[in-house]
């Protein structure tokens, strides 16, 4: 992100639960009160750190913003990704890897400002890298593999 750029949050602040904010990077950070049950994500802290590191490394290596979406993409997954993608941070210069685990679907979208670098070949490399881990039930490992392969394929030479 260039100095002075301000990202518009994907989720309006009014819609966030108490104690939750959208960080400048576009991630959502939340707190909870001691003793209250926590609705934890389905991933361990180590898995989330590994994914965050892979996202950061891929973005730094390529100067292309990488985003990941994990969740239900609706009855038409391709249309679901097309609806999600414009709302991701820096969509025009980014890549979105969207996974709907229950539907067993992975979709990749690239923004128009990076379309010459994020080609169909690069997207296919990422999907292929992810599938091996996905077939073993390792969602985060698959996403990390996809990020590593794609970023190496589009890194500036």
pLDDT for position 156: 74
130-152 average pLDDT score:
95
What pLDDT digit, counting tens, does each position of 30-64 carry? 666 666 666 666 788 899 899 999 999 999 999 99
pLDDT for position 21: 74
CA 16 to chain centre: 20
| Other CB atoms within 10 A of residue 144 CB | 23
What is the pLDDT confidence band of residue 12, given thresholds at 50, 70 and 90? low
Residue 140: both structure tokens together: 């985060």
117-142 average pLDDT score:
94
| Mean pLDDT over each residue of the chain, to the nearest integer | 85
CA dist 144 → 67, 73, 77, 126 (Å):
12, 20, 21, 10
75-92 average pLDDT score:
93
What is the spatial order of strands in the sheet that 94-100 belongs to? Answer: 65-70, 94-100, 105-110
For helices 45-62 and 139-154, give the axis angle rounded to 10 degrees: 10
pLDDT for position 43: 83
pLDDT of 8 strictly over 70: no
Does the pTM exceed 0.85?
no
Largest CA distance in the chain: 52
58-81 average pLDDT score:
93
């Amino acid at each position: 992100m260039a100095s002075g750029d301000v990202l518009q949050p994907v989720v309006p602040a009014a819609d966030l639960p108490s104690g939750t904010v959208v960080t400048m990077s576009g991630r959502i950070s939340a707190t909870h009160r001691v003793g209250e049950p926590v609705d934890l994500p389905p991933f361990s802290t180590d898995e989330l750190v590994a994914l965050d590191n892979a996202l950061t490394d891929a973005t730094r290596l390529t100067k292309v913003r990488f985003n990941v979406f994990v969740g239900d993409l609706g009855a038409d997954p391709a249309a679901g990704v097309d609806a999600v993608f414009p709302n991701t941070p820096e969509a025009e210069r980014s890549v979105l890897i969207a996974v709907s685990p229950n539907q067993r679907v992975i979709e990749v979208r690239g923004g128009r400002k990076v379309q010459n670098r994020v080609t169909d070949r690069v997207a296919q490399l990422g999907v292929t890298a992810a599938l091996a881990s996905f077939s073993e039930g390792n969602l985060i490992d698959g996403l990390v593999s996809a990020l590593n392969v794609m970023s190496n394929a589009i890194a500036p030479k």
